[in-house]
């Protein structure tokens, strides 16, 4: 495994300080614990470690990766496949089709990535053989505990009887490592308080009575028009309530919470990434482990009960030493011990124009990796249409059975009409709005 070739595939010039420290301090004879904030590249760090133990001479499952959320599982899968090309990787998670997963597991993957609930499901039904699993990675372990996966993780680890290597990662430093992990003699790399990784945040307060919180939120969104914004709520019903308000005002946005179908959640994140949508309303589900770059502003419509959750929410902005802005909407009587009493109070008495629509819209294309279609094919296809220029095309994401492309919003309808029933690499496709 040549590191330089891997970095080229990932379009990275060099490892960051934390990733280099992981490679330098890793001791294969001991377990390994990594503490580092969200967004610092933990996935690549532990994925590089896996290469020290993977064998191409065996056809059994060798590595098991347990993660707290579906989205994190899918993101890790992408990185692992790029780093360890030619190695079979399978991802299993709640909300995915169990029959499809079972078919994939019939030929044992070298690396299995999954949420504890779905891994338990397959183990209970005998779809997985754990005899060859020598390496266990517990990614975002503290979050898995917070989500209530303790019992399932205990059951899974008890069945991994031939483990020789254990890796645990967490965004926050843990005072005690639970005994059920089996981690005893270990090396720790701790970047949790690394000054270079601490977000450069400006935190401001908006004071509003309960009956005026929605109005204050809308004014705040208008004031910050054009900025990529995540609105955090404690409960799904608050997310839905805010969404209704924005629908009435015809403000483009998306939702992200555990009550949505997996496909809807993935599409919401995709549109937020490709600038088809600049406002994402969510619960704490989006606070950790998601690929959401370049977030300008965080708004806490409801504050979390614990300071850790507040820190992780804010970690979605000001990533990798960038700057970010955080707004907290508080009722006059609300006090939180972790909030600085001297934070600047924002006055929203002015009238602001309604935010303009995001510059791009997302189209789906009924063709993907299984049709041997890639990003270059899609760009060439779109440029062959009348009056379409390169600047009219934004980010493209190719999935297994379909693809998604951001195009200038004013051209979306025309492109959809012109492209439908045309062929890409000999495959007739349909193109439409998401």
Q: For the segment 104-135, what is each residue's pLDDT rounded down to a tens digit?
A: 999 999 999 999 999 999 999 999 999 999 99
> Has residue 251 been placed in a domain?
yes
- In sequence order, which ranges of 129-261 are alpha helices (DSSP H)? 141-146, 150-158, 213-223, 236-248
Asked whether the beta carbons of 277 and 271 are under 8 A apart, the reply is yes
Q: For the segment 343-390, what is each residue's pLDDT rounded down to a tens digit?
A: 788 888 778 889 889 999 999 999 999 899 999 999 999 999 999 999
Same domain, 119 and 138: yes
Picking from 333, 329, 356, 361, the residue whose alpha carbon sits closest to that of residue 345 is: 329
Q: Is the model's pLDDT at 430 over the cut of 80?
A: yes
Same domain, 87 and 174: yes
Q: In the structure, what pLDDT confidence band is assigned to residue 145 with cuts at 50, 70 and 90?
A: confident
Annotate 300-339 with b (16+ C-beta within 10 A) or e (fewer): bbbbbeeebbbbbbbbbbbbeeeebbbbbbbeeeeebeeb
Q: At what angle do helices 42-50 and 17-25 cross, to 10 degrees?
A: 30
Same domain, 280 and 185: no
Question: Which carries the bigger pLDDT value, residue 255 or residue 317?
Answer: 255
Same domain, 26 and 154: yes
Q: Supply the CATH number for residue 121's domain.
A: 3.40.50.300
Same domain, 91 and 176: yes
> Has residue 303 been placed in a domain?
yes
- In sequence order, which ranges of 125-261 are alpha helices (DSSP H)? 141-146, 150-158, 213-223, 236-248
Same domain, 313 and 421: no
Q: Of 194, 229, 259, which residue constitutes the final position of a domain? A: 194
The pTM of this model reads 0.67
Indicate the average pLDDT of the chain.
89
Same domain, 295 and 376: no
pLDDT at 400: 87
pLDDT at 374: 92
> Has residue 396 been placed in a domain?
yes
Q: In the structure, what pLDDT confidence band is assigned to residue 335 with cuts at 50, 70 and 90?
A: confident
pLDDT at 321: 44
Same domain, 369 and 327: no
| Number of domains into which the chain is organized | 3
pLDDT at 305: 83
User: Which residues span the domain enclosing 20?
Assistant: 3-194
Q: Of 301, 320, 345, which residue constitutes the final position of a domain? A: 345
Q: Is the model's pLDDT at 200 over the cut of 70?
A: no
The whole-angstrom separation of Cα 357 and Cα 351 is 18
> Has residue 354 been placed in a domain?
no
The whole-angstrom separation of Cα 375 and Cα 398 is 7
Same domain, 140 and 45: yes
Same domain, 13 and 89: yes
| Mean pLDDT (whole number) for 399-419 | 94
Same domain, 207 and 305: yes
Q: Of 345, 375, 404, which residue constitutes the final position of a domain? A: 345
| Mean pLDDT (whole number) for 158-172 | 93
Q: In the structure, what pLDDT confidence band is assigned to residue 288 with cuts at 50, 70 and 90?
A: low
Range with the poorest average pLDDT among 211-220, 301-310, 337-346: 337-346
Q: Supply the CATH number for residue 370's domain.
A: 3.30.70.330
Count of residues for the chain? 434
Q: Is the model's pLDDT at 322 over the cut of 70?
A: no
Q: For the segment 217-257, what is each residue's pLDDT rounded down to a tens digit?
A: 999 999 999 899 999 999 999 999 999 999 999 999 999 98
Q: Is the model's pLDDT at 318 over the cut of 70?
A: no
Same domain, 118 and 176: yes
pLDDT at 320: 44
pLDDT at 195: 47
């Amino acid at each position: 495994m040549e590191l330089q070739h891997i970095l080229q595939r990932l379009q990275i010039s060099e490892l960051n300080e934390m990733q280099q420290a992981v490679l330098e301090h890793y001791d294969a004879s001991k377990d390994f614990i990594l503490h580092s904030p969200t967004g610092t590249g933990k996935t690549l760090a532990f994925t590089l470690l896996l290469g020290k133990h993977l064998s191409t001479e065996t056809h059994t499952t060798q590595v098991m990766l347990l993660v707290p959320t579906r989205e994190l599982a899918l993101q890790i899968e992408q990185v692992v496949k790029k780093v360890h090309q030619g190695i079979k990787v399978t991802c299993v998670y709640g909300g995915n089709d169990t029959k499809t997963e079972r078919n994939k597991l019939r030929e044992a993957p070298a690396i299995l990535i999954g949420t504890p609930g779905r891994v338990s499901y397959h183990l209970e039904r005998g779809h997985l053989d754990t005899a060859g699993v020598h390496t266990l990675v517990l990614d975002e372990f503290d979050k898995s505990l917070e989500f209530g996966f303790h019992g399932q993780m205990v059951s899974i680890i008890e069945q991994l009887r031939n483990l020789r290597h254990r890796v645990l990662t967490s965004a926050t430093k843990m005072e005690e490592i639970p005994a059920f992990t089996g981690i005893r003699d270990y090396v720790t790399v701790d970047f949790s308080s690394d000054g270079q990784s601490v977000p450069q945040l400006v935190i401001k307060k908006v004071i509003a009575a309960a009956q005026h919180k929605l109005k204050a939120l809308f004014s705040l969104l208008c004031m910050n028009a054009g900025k990529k914004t995540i609105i955090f709520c404690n409960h799904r019903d608050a997310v839905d309530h805010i969404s209704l308000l924005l629908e009435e005002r015809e403000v483009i946005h998306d939702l992200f919470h555990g009550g949505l179908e997996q496909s809807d959640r993935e599409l919401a994140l995709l549109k937020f990434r490709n600038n088809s949508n600049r406002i994402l309303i969510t619960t704490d589900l989006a606070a950790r482990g998601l690929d959401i770059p370049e977030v300008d502003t965080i708004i806490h419509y409801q504050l979390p009960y614990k300071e850790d959750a507040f820190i992780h929410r804010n970690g979605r902005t000001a990533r990798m030493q960038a700057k970010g802005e955080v707004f907290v909407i508080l009722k006059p009587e609300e006090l939180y011990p972790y909030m600085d009493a001297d934070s600047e109070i924002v006055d929203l008495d002015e009238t602001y124009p309604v935010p303009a629509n995001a510059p791009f819209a997302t189209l789906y294309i009924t063709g993907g990796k299984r049709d041997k279609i890639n990003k270059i094919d899609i760009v060439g296809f779109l440029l062959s249409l009348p009056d379409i220029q390169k600047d009219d095309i934004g980010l493209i994401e190719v999935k297994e059975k379909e693809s998604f492309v951001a195009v200038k919003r004013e051209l979306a309808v025309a492109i959809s009409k012109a492209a439908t029933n045309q062929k890409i690499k000999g495959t007739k496709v349909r193109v439409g709005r998401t």
